[in-house]
């Protein structure tokens, strides 16, 4: 192979890698926040899906969070007897799905419309004191997609103040733009320090920005102008 051909081959291979990286739909996380009450539940955009990692579907802010034991096992005492400012929100946090062992496990988040921007919110809490260390647990959450790209990791504490009062664990909100390589949520006990991954609840919302009226008008005018120019050229 000549040096020019080698250079071209190298360029093509590099471009392919860059394209794969550019097309990755992994989740970009925001800051971790304490769960202080129902007011922290996001209502941004439009609901796509919402799940309670337990046996009971609940309604929060008018949206149904569907029961989903996706990890295979259920726990219904994660709040340790504590209560929030809303009965249904307490139910949401009290229940959790767990499984996968101390290694990584994942949740298929679904299929998304290419080009649209989505928000994901996840909750983790464990205020139980029936065994030492339960309320000191930390869960690691990240993401991957069909290209093999791996996103950043975020850590959520089970019970920041080791009390049945607020805060009730922690939550985090992340975003991603769909490109066909739909993300999976990756879970793992931090430092493999306990037996199974846990998640209380998660929701996904479509937060794609709606074009401003002026922008829509400009696009319409541009399309009209282009059609007019083509007609004149004929």
Q: How far is it, in rounded angstroms, from Cα 200 to Cα 67?
A: 10
Q: Number of structural domains, the chain?
A: 1
Show the CA angle centred on residue 76, arms to residues 54 and 47, nearest 5°.
Answer: 30
Q: What is the pTM of this model?
A: 0.81
Residue 15 lies in a domain: no
196 is a domain residue: yes
CA atoms within 13 A on the CB side of 208: 12
Alpha helices in the chain (DSSP H): 3-22, 87-94, 213-233
**Residue 166 and residue 36 in contact, taking contact as beta carbons nearer than 8 Å:** yes
Domain contains 205: yes
User: Is 16 domain-assigned?
Assistant: no
Q: Which domain holds residue 121?
A: 25-233
**Residues constituting the chain:** 234
> How many other β-carbons are positioned within 10 Å of the β-carbon of residue 113?
12
Q: What is the strand order of the sheet 184-189 is part of? A: 105-108, 184-189, 138-144, 154-157
DSSP 35: -
Model confidence pLDDT, tens digit, residues 88-97: 999 999 999 9
In a domain, 2, yes or no: no
Residue 229 belongs to a domain: yes
Is 169 part of any domain?
A: yes
pLDDT in tens, 161-214: 999 999 999 999 999 999 999 999 999 999 998 999 999 999 999 999 977 665
Residue 17: inside a domain: no
- The helix (run of H) or strand (run of E) holding residue 21 is helix 3-22
- Check which CATH number belongs to the domain holding 87 and give it: 2.60.120.260
């Amino acid at each position: 192979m000549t040096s020019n051909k080698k250079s071209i081959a190298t360029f093509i291979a590099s471009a392919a890698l860059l394209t794969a990286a550019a097309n990755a739909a992994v989740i970009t996380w925001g800051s971790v926040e304490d769960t202080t009450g129902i007011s922290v539940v996001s209502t941004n955009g439009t609901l796509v899906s919402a799940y309670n990692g337990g046996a009971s579907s609940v309604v929060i802010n008018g949206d149904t969070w569907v029961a989903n034991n996706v990890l295979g096992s259920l726990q219904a005492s994660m709040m340790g007897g504590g209560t929030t400012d809303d009965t249904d929100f307490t139910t949401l946090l009290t229940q959790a799905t767990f499984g996968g062992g101390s290694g990584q496990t994942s949740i298929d988040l679904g299929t998304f419309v290419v080009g649209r921007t989505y928000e994901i919110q996840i909750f983790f809490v464990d205020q139980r004191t029936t065994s030492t260390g339960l309320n000191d647990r930390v869960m690691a959450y990240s993401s991957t997609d069909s290209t093999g790209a791996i996103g950043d990791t975020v850590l959520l504490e089970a019970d920041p103040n080791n009390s049945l009062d607020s805060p009730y664990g922690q939550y985090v909100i992340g975003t991603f733009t769909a490109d066909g390589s739909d993300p999976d949520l990756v879970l793992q006990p931090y430092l493999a320090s306990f037996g199974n991954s846990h998640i209380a609840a998660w929701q996904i919302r479509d937060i794609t920005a709606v074009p401003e009226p002026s922008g829509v008008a400009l696009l319409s005018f541009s399309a009209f102008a282009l059609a007019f120019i083509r007609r004149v050229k004929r």
